[in-house]
Amino acid sequence: MSAKKILVIDDDPDFVAAVTPILKSALYEVATASNPTEAKEKIFSEKPDLILLDIMMDSLFDGFSLCHAIKTSREFREFKDIPIIFVSAVKEVAGTRFQFKGEEQGMVGPDDYIDKPIDPADLLARIEKLLKK
Amino acid sequence: MNDKPLILVIDDEEAMRDSCTQILVKHGFRVETAPDGQSGLEKAASLKPDLALIDLKMPGISGLDVLNKIKEIDSEIISIVITGYATVESAVEAMKRGAYDFLPKPFTPEELRIIIRRALERRELAREAEKLKREKKLLEENFITLVSHQLRSPLIAIQQYFETILGGYAGEMSPQIKDMMLRAKERIKDLLQLINDWLDLARINRQELVTRFKPVGLQALLQKQIETFMPLAKESSITINLEREASSDTVMADEQSLEQALANIIHNAIKYNRPGGKVIIRLWEKNSSLAIDIEDTGIGIPPEHLPHIFDQFYRVPLTGRGMTKGTGLGLSIAKKIIEAHDGRIEVKSVPNKGSTFTVILPLARTP
């Protein structure tokens, strides 16, 4: 079986640089995109097996709308089953405005969530679990 | 300016309308005219001019009434009145009703041009100021969110590098490098904690919290806290016990914030305890309030420091080699949250014996 490919979508190049070796250590192929437009292109050209998606790209909603589009729109219908893991530095605290609950707004959510900074072992375990499904 | 300003001239004298039109068109304005108040108001409503030049003395609707009604149509339209009978009274009256300025007849083309220019510039400035005010308000409202993102993002990227490097995903390290990396990682973690605490403090806002109030059972909430802190307590062989003496345990609260306030106090009770010590959490009723004691058997707080422990960044200087970490904001946050719940927090302490923090919250009314 050939290596599985993971698309990392994040606007912070340092985060991408730090996460890539973790994924490569588990013999995944890594593709990257730094904004929603590039992300769409890469989904079509790279056909990833799993997507790591940062919630806060340019705006709070980019990650959510991209996820929703992949899971539901015709444009992405051949990719609708790709597992998506949301990655976020969004901290749940008292009075925060960050708690955008995409699902409550009728958006289709991701398959899993993981907080930044990512614990490498935890990330690899979650990916493996989703890819086995 | 992107468009030529539109001037509406409302005057019953045809000669006046014509000469105004001539002058203004020559100076680069667009001009519309109306021979009486009624048609003037109709044009004002449909064309939304930038400025209206209104003759005060007209048959039908008077100039002063036109002035009033134009304000109602669009408060942004500037009105300048033309006064044939150049009395101070009529001019003052027009100004009182919101005219920007008045122009006594007869006037020269130059006078007309200057007064209109000045009025339009003035409006432009007012619009700019309004826009800036709106932007500032928006910025203020989202300031915490923006700052939070800007401050946290770089630190989180750094933390991610540490995770990757220390996880061994970027190659082997000498023990010395690894040790330094671990220390650096801890410092970054502390800094992030400080930012988070500070942002929490800035964010706690009674009006916002109240919108999330719902009945919260304190026993369950405290039980959950104890479970969370058990691993930390076990590190120093500290026991945590919950005693309930109150019949009701329901308060109106924003659960997440209240949880955070109590967690900060319980955390301190563990952190400043002695190895093998105890933390007793007691839930009891006091008049129509619920009180939560959080009692520890720790180092205590010297009386001279007690009045300051809720101040931001205040740290009780510790004697001995007890190096404790923290941002000095935990109790400030707790106090602010509890006060936002119409509650209060009290403290009693005996050095070397322990401290008791008491949180008092209004009991939720039972239906």
Which has the higher per-residue pLDDT, A51 or B140? A51
Is B118 inside a domain boundary? no
What is the per-residue pLDDT across A12-36, written as a single tens digit (0 to 9) for each? 899 999 999 999 999 999 999 998 8
Domain-terminating residue out of B107, B125, B151: B107
What's A89's domain CATH number?
Answer: 3.40.50.2300
Residue of chain A whose alpha carbon sits nearest to that of B204:
A95
Is B172 inside a domain boundary? yes
Does residue B227 sit in the same domain as residue B336? Answer: yes
Does residue B189 sit in the same domain as residue B296? Answer: no
Does residue B193 sit in the same domain as residue B241? Answer: no
Omega before B215 within 30 of 0, i.e. cis: no
Does residue B63 sit in the same domain as residue B159? Answer: no
pLDDT of residue A115: 86
Which has the higher per-residue pLDDT, B152 or A7? A7
Distance from CA of A95 to the nearest CA of B (A): 6
Mean local confidence (pLDDT), B283-309: 90
> What span, in angstroms and rounded, lies between the C-alpha atoms of A54 and A62?
9
Does residue B283 sit in the same domain as residue B308? Answer: yes
Is A50's pLDDT higher than 90?
yes
Does residue B287 sit in the same domain as residue B268? Answer: yes
Q: Total domain count for chain A?
A: 1
Q: What residue type is A51 in one-letter code?
A: I
Of B152, B158, B337, the CB nearest to A94: B337
Is B12 inside a domain boundary? yes
Domain-terminating residue out of B86, B107, B128: B107
Q: Which residues of B touch A98 (CB under 8 A)?
A: 145, 148
Q: Which residues of A touch B142 (CB under 8 A)?
A: 97
What is the per-residue pLDDT across B17-52, written as a single tens digit (0 to 9) for each? 999 999 999 999 999 999 999 999 999 999 989 999
Residue B75 CB-density burial (10 A; 0-12 exposed, 13-18 middle, 19+ buried): exposed
Q: Which residues of A touch B169 (CB under 8 A)?
A: 21-22, 25, 120
- Which DSSP symbol is given to B7? E
> What span, in angstroms and rounded, lies between the C-alpha atoms of B271 and B330?
12
Does residue B198 sit in the same domain as residue B214? Answer: no
Of B159, B163, B256, the CB nearest to A120: B163
Phi, psi of B11 (to 5 degrees): -155, 140
Tell me the average pLDDT of chain A: 84
Is B130 inside a domain boundary? no
Helices B255-271 + B218-235 axis angle, to 10: 30
Candidates A97, A114, A122, partner chain B, best to mutate (most B CBs within 10 A): A97
The DSSP annotation for B83-135 comes to: ESS--HHHHHHHHHTT-SEEEESS--HHHHHHHHHHHHHHHHHHHHHHHHHHH
Residue of chain A whose alpha carbon sits nearest to that of B205:
A95
Q: Which residues pair with B357 in a beta bridge?
A: B294, B347
Across the interface, whether the CB atoms of A15 and B160 are under 8 A apart is answered yes
Give the distance from CA B143 to its chain's centroid: 7
Of A12, A22, A97, the CB nearest to B164: A22
Distance from CA of B77 to the nearest CA of A (A): 37
Does residue B56 sit in the same domain as residue B156? Answer: no
| CB contact residues (below 8 A), chain B span 255-274, against chain A | 256-257, 260
Across the interface, whether the CB atoms of B163 and A119 are under 8 A apart is answered yes
Of B152, B169, B209, the CB nearest to A21: B169
Across the interface, whether the CB atoms of B200 and A94 are under 8 A apart is answered yes
pLDDT of residue A95: 35
Q: Which residues of A touch B159 (CB under 8 A)?
A: 116-117
Is B126 inside a domain boundary? no
* Domain span at A16: 5-132
Is B54 inside a domain boundary? yes
What is the per-residue pLDDT across B199-231, written as a single tens digit (0 to 9) for each? 778 778 788 788 889 999 999 999 999 999 999
Across the interface, whether the CB atoms of A121 and B152 are under 8 A apart is answered no
Please, which residues have CB within 8 angstroms of residue B76's CB and are 6 or more apart in sequence?
A: B123, B127
Across the interface, whether the CB atoms of A97 and B196 are under 8 A apart is answered no
* Domain span at B177: 142-203
Does residue B358 sit in the same domain as residue B213? Answer: yes
Does residue B218 sit in the same domain as residue B163? Answer: no
Distance from CA of A23 to the nearest CA of B (A): 9
What is the per-residue pLDDT across B326-352, written as a single tens digit (0 to 9) for each? 778 889 999 999 999 999 999 999 988
Helices A120-132 + A13-25 axis angle, to 10: 70
Mean local confidence (pLDDT), B275-279: 94
Across the interface, whether the CB atoms of B164 and A19 are under 8 A apart is answered yes
CB contact burial B203-238 (16+ within 10 A = b; e otherwise): bbeeebbeeebeebebeebbeebbeebeeebeeeeb
Omega before A13 within 30 of 0, i.e. cis: no
Of B167, B196, B209, the CB nearest to A22: B167
Q: Total domain count for chain B?
A: 3
Q: Which of B120, B9, B10 is nearest to B60 (CA)?
A: B10
Across the interface, whether the CB atoms of A93 and B203 are under 8 A apart is answered yes
